[in-house]
Amino acid sequence: HATQQETNKTITTSTKAIKQLSEIVRGSSRQERLQLDRLNNQLSDAIQRYGAVQKKIAEKSKALLPTGQRSSKQGEEDNYYH
């Protein structure tokens, strides 16, 4: 859980840094803008892969829980992901 929280903080920090860079690079050379675009795409891809892994982990964890615990855990998961 701590790793997940740290990863979420890193994603937030990285996203903010990309936004700041985009403001700085706005009037820069085409090459710098392309580098920023590539960096932004790489971050987006990494975030999507992370989300997919988190979803798989949640599904596998849910499958391992006994039936009675699944219904009580479902509410917790809904609160976490939304």
- Token digits for 2? 């701590």
Top-ranked range on mean pLDDT: pick from 35-39, 57-61, 76-80:
35-39
Residue 54's Cβ-count burial label (10 Å; 0-12, 13-18, 19+) is middle
Q: Are 48 and 9 in contact (CB under 8 A)?
A: no
Q: What whole-number distance in Å separates Cα of residue 43 and Cα of residue 45?
A: 5
pTM for this predicted structure: 0.69
| Mean pLDDT to the nearest integer, 23-47 | 93
Looking at the 3D structure of the chain, how many domains does it have?
Answer: 1
Q: Supply the range of the domain harboring residue 52.
A: 2-81
Look at residue 66 and tell me whether its pLDDT is greater than 60: yes
| Mean pLDDT to the nearest integer, 10-35 | 93
